[in-house]
Amino acid sequence: MQTTPTDTQTTQDVVDLLRAQHARIRDLFDEALHSDGQDRENSFKELVRLLAIHETAEEEIVHPTVRKIPGGDGIVEDRLTEERQAKERLSELEDMGTGDPRFLKALDALRLDVLTHARAEERYEFDRLREQFSPQQLKGFAAAVRAAEKTAPTHPHPGVESASKNMLAGPFAAVTDRVRDMIHKARGDS
Ligand SMILES: [Fe+2]
Ligand SMILES: [Fe+2]
């Protein structure tokens, strides 16, 4: 075994990388739930950033692939519904802020949604990628996602943060654009 499931730096294959991100997302939920003050704020920000990167990678790589298989459209529509709901909840949490008395309950509800969603992806979608792409292509996608993760902004622009009521239009969008560009390059799109 050259890699561990949570080792996102050295994982070579995009399926392994997405699984490792699921594990990291689960850990960040736990960290945010079981800390307070600045620690909670930091864990939550990292969680939002990782979710933005991860879901964009899935929208670009995983879902279009699964649509090609018989019955795939239904599977993808279910996942997209879950992702939309999670993004709405995430946006509400961002507006609330980590100090809000309702924050923990809302974060816990989002955690349940996201982990259920991740299990469904692992069960119904991820193996399809290995049927559709060569090991080389899967490595290329992993490299693109990792590169995007490295260069994506770590902190929302302060002006955007205070001015925006909806992070999906601000920092979240900046991260997703970056990930999209790098995946398009890996796929050979112009
Ligand atoms: Fe997803
Ligand atoms: Fe996922």
Range of the domain at 62: 14-184
8 within a domain of the structure (yes/no): no
| 67 is a domain residue | yes
- Number of domains the chain contains: 1
Residues having C-beta closer than 5 Å to ion ligand 2:
118, 121
Q: Could you tell me the distance, in angstroms and rounded to a whole number, from the CA of residue 184 to the centre of ligand 2?
A: 19
Query: Which ligand places an atom closest to the C-alpha of 126?
Result: 2
For 65-91, write each residue's pLDDT tens digit.
899 989 999 999 999 999 999 989 998
- Token duo for residue 76: 């993808």
Is 24 contained in some domain? yes
- Does residue 175 sit within a domain? yes
pTM for this model (two decimals): 0.83
Looking at the domain assignment, is residue 128 inside a domain?
yes
How many angstroms does the Cα of residue 120 sit away from the middle of ligand 1? 9
Using one digit for the tens of pLDDT, what is the confidence trace for 155-184?
Answer: 444 444 433 344 454 556 677 777 888 888
Provide the pLDDT for residue 11. 54
Name the 3-class secondary structure at 111.
helix
d(CA 176, CA 168): 10
Which residues have CB under 8 Å from 161's CB, separation 6+? 167, 170, 171
Question: Is residue 180 assigned to a domain?
Answer: yes
Cβ atoms of 54 and 83 closer than 8 Å:
no
Asked if residue 103 is part of any domain, the answer here is yes
Ligand 1 geometric centre to CA of 35 (Å): 25
| 114 occurs within a structural domain | yes
- Alpha carbon of 74 to ligand 2 centroid (Å): 17
